[in-house]
Amino acid sequence: MEEKIQKLTSSALTQINQAQNKIQLEDLRIQHLGKKGDLTSVLKSLTQLPIEQRKKIGKLVNLAKQEIITAFERKEKTFEVEKAAWIDVTAPGVKLQIGHLHPVTAAISEIVPIFERIGFTRTSYPEVELDYYAFEALNMPKDHPARDEWETFYITNDIVLTPHTSSGQVREMEKGKLPIRMLNIAKCYRRQSDVSHTPMFHQFEGLLVDRYVSIANLKGVLDYFVKAFFGPSRKSRIRPFHFRFTEPSFEVDVTCGVCDGVGCRLCKQGWLELGGAGMVHPKVLEFGKIDPTIWSGFAFGWGVERAYMMKESLKIDDIRILYENDMRFLEQF
Burial of 250 per CB tally in 10 Å (0-12, 13-18, 19+): buried
When pLDDT is averaged across residues 9-20 and rounded to a whole number, the result is: 82
Residue range 197-240, pLDDT digits in tens: 778 889 999 999 999 999 999 999 999 999 999 888 888 899 99
Average pLDDT value for the chain: 84
pLDDT, position 264? 80
The proportion of the chain whose per-residue pLDDT surpasses 70, expressed as a percent, equals 93
pLDDT, position 4? 75
Residue range 17-44, pLDDT digits in tens: 888 888 887 888 788 777 777 777 777 7
pLDDT, position 94? 77
Which is nearest to 305 in space by CA: 173, 194, 227, 145? 194
pLDDT, position 279? 96
When pLDDT is averaged across residues 147-176 and rounded to a whole number, the result is: 87
Whether 85 has a pLDDT exceeding 60, the answer reads: no
Would you place residue 272 in the very low, low, confident or very high pLDDT band (cuts 50, 70, 90)?
A: confident
When pLDDT is averaged across residues 103-117 and rounded to a whole number, the result is: 92
Whether 180 has a pLDDT exceeding 90, the answer reads: yes
CA 283 to mean position of chain CA atoms: 40
3-state secondary structure the chain: CHHHHHHHHHHHHHHHHHCCCHHHHHHHHHHHHCCCCHHHHHHHHHHHCCHHHHHHHHHHHHHHHHHHHHHHHHHHHHHHHHHHHCCCCCCCCCCCCCCCCCHHHHHHHHHHHHHHCCCCEEECCCCEEEHHHHCHHHCCCCCCHHHCCCCCCECCCCEEECCCHHHHHHHHHCCCCCCEEEEEEEEEECCCCECCECCEEEEEEEEEEECCCCHHHHHHHHHHHHHHHHCCCCCEEEEEECCCCEEEEEEEEEECCCCCCCCCCCCCCCEEEEEEEEEECHHHHHHCCCCCCCCEEEEEEEEHHHHHHCCCCCCCCCHHHHHCCCHHHHCCC
Report CA-CA distances (Å) from 105 to 119, 186, 273, 278, 281. Answer: 22, 11, 21, 27, 31
pLDDT, position 82? 59
- Please, what sign has the CA dihedral across residues 282, 286, 287, 289? positive
When pLDDT is averaged across residues 1-21 and rounded to a whole number, the result is: 79
Would you place residue 81 in the very low, low, confident or very high pLDDT band (cuts 50, 70, 90)?
A: low
Report CA-CA distances (Å) from 166 to 217, 251, 308. Answer: 19, 15, 20
Residue range 37-80, pLDDT digits in tens: 777 777 777 777 777 776 777 777 778 778 888 887 888 888 77
Residue range 113-123, pLDDT digits in tens: 999 999 999 99
Residue range 291-328, pLDDT digits in tens: 999 999 999 998 888 888 777 667 677 777 887 778 88
pLDDT, position 231? 85
Reported pTM: 0.65
* Amino acid residing at 333: F
